Structure 1
Amino acid sequence: MRRRLLSALAATAATVAALLAVPTAAHAESNGGVRILPLGDSITDGFNVPGGYRINLWRALAAAGHPVDFVGSQFNGPSDLPDHDHEGHPGWRIDQVDANATAWVSSTAPRSVLIHLGTNDVIQNYDLANAPARLSALVDHVRAAAPAADVFVASIIPLSDAGREASANSFNATIPGIVAGKGAKVHFVDMHAALNTGDLADGVHPTRAGYDKMAARWADALAAVPGSAGDDGAPVSLPVNTNVSLRATTACCTNRYARHQNGLGYTEVVTSASDALLKNDATWRIVPGLAGGCYSLQSRNYPTYYLRHQNGRVKISQDDGTALTRADATWCGRSAPGGVRLASWNFPGSYLRHINSELWLATPGGTATQDNAASLVPDITWALTTPWAP
């Protein structure tokens, strides 16, 4: 029975590998976030659960204030996964991935690379004595193509078959030593310890719960290396008691500024020829946060009113002294490429965003329209500029 099972697994892997050798159309999604390349085989692809670990990894990173951009030439996953790109190839061994790795990494320029490979080497019993050397060469090629990237190399997850699991354990035992010889930018991730055979759907691929355990282990690994998922959460000091204007940084909209109109928040084009009302509406005074920390944005022409969110929409409201209003009107500066993000005081991980010329509170990975990942990162990044109404 065991021989028949192993033969079936090997035949399936070979068939899938042959099918995957045919080029497929590329689907690239980009929200401008920190680029992360998931690199591997069917477990990275999510063979039995489309999206696999990438579903909960994206959500975990977004919840931690790290909007990211998964990259790769492959594309799959559910509709509620905002970014479907990856480089997972069902049935492929280390050598097959390595033959393409330099091109893939060079074309995507990832900030971080997540490698989970070797399962098919074990299943196919392919020259296992040299599998560690093949993995080492792959890491070298990834590092050469992206010298500044952090590379995370995982041990492969458990296999239900006892003989194959023994081979997997022998292979896994070599990985920490491989990683240790690659320098400070290469990190070992003990993925094998994160799962057990009860987390497998077919003896090889995880169940959804198993993939979620993988996601948590990847998220912990990224969190342990500052900058590997971006520095989006780093606190930024804002100039207190200073008037500023907030300019959008999205490529389409760099002449638009945050303003209030009839009580609601919008963006609008402002120039030196604009009338005085618009210039005043697009000017804010940064003051100590009404909630007791961070900052609040006081309206220039309605000084008892402050920029706040309410049911997702961003507007101006008078300070009525209530804890809710003051919390809704308090924002914390966070670092972002090309500007600053304004994170909600009472909804951590949510940011001031412009979308369709309106101001909203957006939560990366959320379900509301303003949470959509498309162009999210530039839309939640603002440039603090000279005020239109000093």
Structure 2
Amino acid sequence: MRGRRPLAATATVVAALLGTLFVVSAPAHAESNGGVRILPLGDSITDGFNVPGGYRINLWRALADAGHPVDFVGSQFNGPADLPDHDHEGHPGWRIDQVDANAAGWVATTAPRSVLVHLGTNDVVQNYDLAGAPARLSALIDHVRAAAPAADVFVASIIPLSDPAREANANAFNATIPGIVAGKGARVHFVDMHAALGTGDLADGVHPTRAGYDKMAARWAAALAAVPGSAGDDGAPTTLPSGSYVSLRATTACCTNRYARHQNGLGYTEVVTAGSDQLLKQDATWRVGPGLAGVAGGCYSLQSRNYPGYYLRHQNGRVRISADDGTALMRADATWCARTAPGGVRLASWNYPGAYLRHINAELWLATPGGTAAQDNAASLVPDITWSVEAPWAP
């Protein structure tokens, strides 16, 4: 894909546009920080032509600043030293069909939680069967979804092109994308990338400047933020009042008078008021202490007020109280890491990163955004995993 460039750059342009298009390069490296896996999928704009790393530089930083430990994945590798994760699946010069020929294999190999698709620029620049481009994009989305049915797929309109004829074709192609996305189900999302940049953000009529790539990063970050779980749900580490008694109030609109309590060994939520009996108030009160797993950094264990030595823990997904028997498993299950969240805090499992204390149907469970278990149901998940730390009902 290329716009108009000085003749001195012709060799570089041709090599990037028409190189060995069907050979998948072996990765120079592979990096993983254990975070939520995101696959940037596209062409030289994903690769970062003229700005190695491209939008991935500021996208990684934006997500990290928001407390999301993401892991970019893919068979390609490039970018500056200050980009902590260089993996991606951007192939200079490749059209939609050429990426599609490999996409299912890449997705199966990398198992991403989210996929960022920006494709079609080469179809326009090469004037390749433009009438068929929407169908090719639709097929690619289907193949990605089949390879990763639990992933969220973000499909972007292509960025502007300086050449008026190419821009007209780009606009015609972009106009089809929202309709394509709308027919692919709730896990496929449209991102209007074309509106994020202007031709003044292009370095060569086709590829962004650094400022243009930064605008792309901001648009991707906003799209991920709008879909809970797509970049993980961890906020920044925060503190709880260690050594104090607290009560945990639900923040979901339906249930703001309900508190986390134990009953017959299991965790529930129940309405607690000043007129509630003393047993319920005690069941809904917890002593915050250092995490039994022995980890630092905002991780805690919650001891029952009326059953000293018993702690809130998860076991086979269900949340309950159990005695501290000294085993590593019990202590890990009973360690929760506090994360900031709008309107409260989230309690993340220490030994199951990305899973959170959730109330659902008045029961307490360990829930994983994007998971397949019943307690992972997306409906009201974000507020359900957000708790308000309140004064204790039984000081």
Q: Following the alignment from structure 2 to structure 1, what is the Cα–Cα distance between the partners of residues 41 and 133? A: 17
User: 1:11: Cα distance to partner?
Assistant: 8.0
Aligned counterpart in structure 2 of residue 206 of structure 1, from 173, 184, 208: 208
Q: Which amino acid aligns with 2:287?
A: N
Q: Following the alignment from structure 1 to structure 2, what is the Cα–Cα distance between the partners of residues 167 and 180? A: 21
Q: Which amino acid aligns with 1:23?
A: S
What is the percent sequence identity of the aligned residues? 75
Residues 1:5 and 1:145: Cα distance change in structure 2 (over 3 Å)? same
**Corresponding residue pairs, total:** 268
TM-score, normalisation: structure 2: 0.61
User: 1:24: Cα distance to partner?
Assistant: 3.0
Q: Following the alignment from structure 1 to structure 2, what is the Cα–Cα distance between the partners of residues 4 and 71? A: 32
Q: Following the alignment from structure 2 to structure 1, what is the Cα–Cα distance between the partners of residues 27 and 295? A: 39
Q: Following the alignment from structure 1 to structure 2, what is the Cα–Cα distance between the partners of residues 116 and 340? A: 29
Contact 1:102–1:141 (Cα < 8 Å) also in 2:
yes
Residues 1:333 and 1:106: Cα distance change in structure 2 (over 3 Å)? same
Match of 1:39 in 2: 41
Contact 1:37–1:113 (Cα < 8 Å) also in 2:
yes
Match of 2:184 in 1: 182
User: Equivalences for 1:1-390 in 2 at 5 Å?
Assistant: 15-16=15-16, 17-19=18-20, 21=23, 23-233=25-235, 240-247=286-293, 257-258=294-295, 334-336=347-349, 338-339=351-352
Q: Following the alignment from structure 2 to structure 1, what is the Cα–Cα distance between the partners of residues 198 and 62? A: 22
SS in 1 for 2:89: strand
Contact 1:10–1:123 (Cα < 8 Å) also in 2:
no
Q: Following the alignment from structure 1 to structure 2, what is the Cα–Cα distance between the partners of residues 286 and 211? A: 51
User: 1:195: Cα distance to partner?
Assistant: 0.1
SS in 2 for 1:241: strand
Residues 1:199 and 1:4: Cα distance change in structure 2 (over 3 Å)? closer
Match of 2:263 in 1: none
Contact 2:3–2:161 (Cα < 8 Å) also in 1:
no
Residues 1:337 and 1:186: Cα distance change in structure 2 (over 3 Å)? farther
User: 1:25: Cα distance to partner?
Assistant: 3.5
Match of 2:328 in 1: none
Summarize deviations over 1:93-152 as a string: whole Å, max 9, x none. Answer: 000000000000000000000000000000000111100000000000000000000000
Q: Following the alignment from structure 1 to structure 2, what is the Cα–Cα distance between the partners of residues 121 and 6? A: 22
Q: Following the alignment from structure 1 to structure 2, what is the Cα–Cα distance between the partners of residues 96 and 173? A: 22
Contact 2:49–2:207 (Cα < 8 Å) also in 1:
yes
Q: Which amino acid aligns with 1:158?
A: P
Summarize deviations over 1:134-178 as a string: whole Å, max 9, x none. Answer: 000000000000000000000000000111001100000000010
SS in 2 for 1:201: coil
Summarize deviations over 1:36-58 as a string: whole Å, max 9, x none. Answer: 00000000000110110001101
Structure 1 residues without counterparts, runs of 5 or longer:
248-256, 260-264, 266-281, 288-330, 342-390
SS in 2 for 1:214: helix
User: 1:27: Cα distance to partner?
Assistant: 1.5
Summarize deviations over 1:67-96 as a string: whole Å, max 9, x none. Answer: 100000000011111100000000000000
Match of 2:339 in 1: none
Q: Following the alignment from structure 1 to structure 2, what is the Cα–Cα distance between the partners of residues 184 and 334? A: 27
Q: Which amino acid aligns with 1:50?
A: P
Q: Following the alignment from structure 1 to structure 2, what is the Cα–Cα distance between the partners of residues 3 and 204? A: 5
Q: Which amino acid aligns with 2:169?
A: S
User: 1:339: Cα distance to partner?
Assistant: 4.9
User: 1:23: Cα distance to partner?
Assistant: 2.7
User: 1:233: Cα distance to partner?
Assistant: 2.7
User: 1:22: Cα distance to partner?
Assistant: 6.0
SS in 2 for 1:44: helix
Contact 1:33–1:69 (Cα < 8 Å) also in 2:
yes
Contact 1:159–1:203 (Cα < 8 Å) also in 2:
yes
Q: Following the alignment from structure 2 to structure 1, what is the Cα–Cα distance between the partners of residues 350 and 101? A: 33
Q: Following the alignment from structure 1 to structure 2, what is the Cα–Cα distance between the partners of residues 195 and 162? A: 16
Q: Following the alignment from structure 1 to structure 2, what is the Cα–Cα distance between the partners of residues 114 and 44? A: 9
Summarize deviations over 1:174-209 as a string: whole Å, max 9, x none. Answer: 000100110111000000000000000111100000
User: 1:286: Cα distance to partner?
Assistant: 11
Contact 2:5–2:204 (Cα < 8 Å) also in 1:
no
Residues 1:153 and 1:82: Cα distance change in structure 2 (over 3 Å)? same
Q: Following the alignment from structure 1 to structure 2, what is the Cα–Cα distance between the partners of residues 284 and 337? A: 13
Q: Following the alignment from structure 1 to structure 2, what is the Cα–Cα distance between the partners of residues 13 and 137? A: 28
